[in-house]
Amino acid sequence: MKILITGAAGFIGSHTAERFKSLGYTVIGIDNFSSHYDIGLKRLNERTLNLKGISIINKDLNDSNLADALPDDINYIFHFAAQPGISSTNRFKDYFVNNILATKNLLDYALGLKDLKLFINIGTSSVYGLEATFSEDQAPKPASYYGVTKLTAEQLVLQKSREDLLNSCSLRLYSVIGPRERPEKMFTKLISAGVNNEAFPLFEGSDKHLRSFTYVDDIVDGIVSVVGNEHVLDGEIVNIGTEKEYTTKQGIEAVEKVLGKKITLNIIPKRPGDQLRTCANINKARRLLNYNPTTSLLEAVQSQLNWYKENFL
């Protein structure tokens, strides 16, 4: 089986590529190495994958000649590539181009594949809105450009199933943490602040926010389990994450515990569009995929700290 992973040099995409390779699949990655965050981290991920025999095509999904750069015998597409985050410095145009237009261009390529078994859109709990505690049949209420454009991308993919043009599904991921997490994300910034004796910028009131912090390996367990289940997943949306909830304060305390030191907090103004609560409802994932995340928050944070020390100290 041959698998294409978009955004393969990113956080979750690189872990997924690595897992599929270990399971004996042929893995092709594609990434545009965007400067949205430190390209050095993406290159580090790329080198890690190269050592495992996985190559990454340096290509933007919006390029008009995308199909010419990709194989025509792909069996599964896992679409991670996106404009992430809810930073006020990101323009709506960036989300529109990288989340909607790029997905449409990738779908056009996918429609030309004769042996494609399933197109898997990697979605997000952000589509639910300020509180993401619902089952998949709940009407989405995204509260950010990121959530709005990711929902649109998801529907573009599922539209093809409704038209019987290809098999597709969407996995909505919840608060993923672990090694290779993006540098602007909470746990990477917490660990960096603690190790370097710097203050951690905490959005006002966010210490009370609730999150389903889910270890990346547990997320990947759910992602890889779709292979062979396309007959039950076509047209479906499935939440992937942990049912356990933690406050941001508990997340900070977990990092302090593994570091063995307190972290100084710098309170900054609230961030518009930030979710108040995420708690993954995974009844459907349990039923369809036998999904069962098991990693504790402390185990996840320790693993991320170990990776940080190995690569940045």
Tokens representing 130 are 């300020």
Instruction: Pick left, alpha or beta for residue 106 (phi over 0 → left; psi -120 to 50 → alpha; otherwise beta).
Output: alpha
The residue with tokens 């996918």 is 110
Tokens representing 111 are 């429609």
26, containing H or E segment: strand 26-31
Q: What is the Cα 197 distance to its own chain's centre?
A: 29
Query: Measuring CA to CA, which residue among 27, 29, 45, 12 is closest to residue 172?
Result: 12
The Cα 291–Cα 16 span in angstroms is 16
The Cα 146–Cα 96 span in angstroms is 9
Q: State the catalytic residue, choosing from 146, 174, 215, 308.
A: 146
The torsion of the CA quartet 287, 242, 34, 97, rounded to 10 degrees, works out to: 60
The Cα 24–Cα 40 span in angstroms is 28
> Exposed, middle or buried by CB within 10 Å (0-12, 13-18, 19+), for 119?
buried
Q: CB-based contacts of 48: which residues, under 8 Å, 6+ apart? A: 14, 18
Which three-class secondary structure state does DSSP give residue 294? coil
Q: Is 146 a catalytic residue?
A: yes
Active centre residues (catalytic):
146
